[in-house]
Amino acid sequence: MSSQRPPHVDTPHAGTAPRRRQARAEETRRALLEAALTEFAEKGFEAASTRAIAHAAGAHQPQINYHFESKEELWRAAVDHLFGQLDEVFGAHTGDLDCHASARDRLAVLIRAFVHSAAELPELNRIMVREATTDSARLRWIVDRHTRPRFAEAVDAWRAAQIEGGVTPMDEAIFYYSFIGASSLVYVNAPEARLLGCDPSTPEFVSAHAEAVVRMFLPESPGPPDS
Amino acid sequence: MSSQRPPHVDTPHAGTAPRRRQARAEETRRALLEAALTEFAEKGFEAASTRAIAHAAGAHQPQINYHFESKEELWRAAVDHLFGQLDEVFGAHTGDLDCHASARDRLAVLIRAFVHSAAELPELNRIMVREATTDSARLRWIVDRHTRPRFAEAVDAWRAAQIEGGVTPMDEAIFYYSFIGASSLVYVNAPEARLLGCDPSTPEFVSAHAEAVVRMFLPESPGPPDS
DNA sequence: GTCTATAATTAGATAGAC
DNA sequence: GTCTATCTAATTATAGAC
């Protein structure tokens, strides 16, 4: 609704100096956002330090309160940014989603796309699991704004495939959380996985994982469509 | 190795007063441990407050440094305690694990037991996912002491079932993380699940979830053994 | 063992020079 | 817009009375 951008006077004369200053400010803002993402994902909201975020972005701590109103607003902007990235990555992986394909095949495409997205954006599921653990204003904000609509879409796709048949019968919420959990945990817990001798960052791992998740929910799967 | 218990002089005279004092200290210690569990699970190590833990336990903050050496030692004791509870709960759910049953049936029993354990002890997987996200001394400690041996056991059970046949073919690490994720996320994220209209705390939900996870990995499952 | 008081550090946010 | 300096509040850990 309300823009997170700081208010600024227009530059109708279009001088180059103000423009460059504005461009540099935009750079700072973006760097703070990216640094905030990884810091919030690794430490959680409360343990994350605005000083550390600013340092990682090559800026000073008070610039956070200048470009964003507060630590909480920075978090919100970072989460919005991250879900924007998810939509991009997810869209790139679904690509030509054939509307005339069977519900089962469409579900398989969505599952593969989500696994690849979870691998490319581990920060998203890290932040989600940190917030979803305790009821809070932040959790309600993120559920209302981002989780609930995506939950509804996933459940719709599942329901359609279940009506059509050929999928493992399962309650919708059980499907949703089993699916998200099976798809994301190894990337969320990547540092632990590495200590256990597993590197989940290779393309081969991600593809094998995606096919495994498809088979978990669509047991009679004929394999990936491009093989 | 070294006991976390504070050093104390023996009471060879077995007076009642010292014994009662000791019993009360044991109570305090235990209350601190239980309070630490939920606080660390909800907030994470760094965001958790020793003052809040002490308050929840009906004690004062310096008592933590008396009964445990530091916040870090309290965390270690809490994690040890929690894995002890896991072994108890897990053992209660596997119960009469028939050594002469097929590897596939034994795996089904282990899966059901883990889902029920995850439902009863959401704190364990909350702490795990918080620590597994970033490499740290705490992560290495918990992996060496608790995760690696259990990972090996789970992989052994999976390997045996896979050799026998009748399970969804899958790499071991992919099985492990998909299994843990599918089994635990809905309980880890229970506050979010409730906002989405799902209550994962009922016995019916847990049983249905357990059967769903069994079918995800053992597609030709004949259903629960007691039905 | 339990408690009060406090030391030492660090957090997020703000004021004001430039 | 960016920077230094600083305010207030919260943190873990410790000292010492009881």
Contacts of A65 (CB under 8 A, 6+ apart): none
CA A125/CA A130 separation, integer angstroms? 8
Is the CB of B52 within 7 Å of strand D? yes
CA A171/CA A153 separation, integer angstroms? 15
Residue B21 confidence (pLDDT): 74
- Position A81, amino acid: H
Give contacts of A 59-88 with B, CB under 8 A. Answer: none
Residue B51 confidence (pLDDT): 98
Q: Which residue has the tokens 């009863």?
A: B120
CA B71/CA B52 separation, integer angstroms? 12
The pair phi, psi for residue B219, each rounded to 5°, is: -60, -30
- Taking CA atoms, B137 is separated from A195, B134, B140, B142, B143, in Å, by 12, 10, 5, 9, 10
Residue in chain B nearest A170 by alpha carbon: B212
Residue B12 confidence (pLDDT): 43
| Cβ-contact B64, B150 below 8 angstroms | no
CA A207/CA B88 separation, integer angstroms? 37
| Cβ-contact B171, A197 below 8 angstroms | no
Per-residue pLDDT of chain B (227 residues; tens, 9 = 90+): 444 455 444 444 445 556 777 888 899 999 999 999 999 999 999 999 999 999 999 999 999 999 999 999 999 999 999 999 999 999 999 987 777 889 999 999 999 999 999 999 999 999 999 999 999 999 999 999 999 999 999 999 999 999 998 898 899 999 999 999 999 999 999 999 999 999 999 999 999 999 999 999 998 755 444 43
Is the CB of B6 within 7 Å of strand C? yes
Query: Coil, strand or helix: which one is A195?
Result: helix
CA B219/CA A221 separation, integer angstroms? 12
pLDDT tens-digit profile of A114-149?
999 999 999 999 999 999 999 999 999 999 999 999
Question: Is the CB of residue B46 less than 8 Å away from at least one CB of chain A?
Answer: yes
Return the number of CB contacts < 8 Å for A and B. 190
Is the CB of B205 within 7 Å of strand C? no
Give contacts of B 147-176 with A, CB under 8 A. Answer: 147-148, 151, 168-171, 173-176
Classify B197 in phi/psi space as left (phi over 0), alpha (psi -120 to 50) or beta.
left
The residue ranges of DSSP E strands in B24-87, in sequence order, are none
Instruction: Enter the DSSP assignment of B19.
Output: H
Is the CB of B24 within 7 Å of strand C? yes
Residue B46 confidence (pLDDT): 98
A42-78 b/e with 16+ CB inside 10 Å = b? Answer: bbbbebbebeebbebbebeeebbeebbeebeebbbbb
CA of A48 to C1' of D6 (A): 22
Q: What angle in degrees, to the nearest 10, is found between the helix axes of A16-43 and A71-94?
A: 90
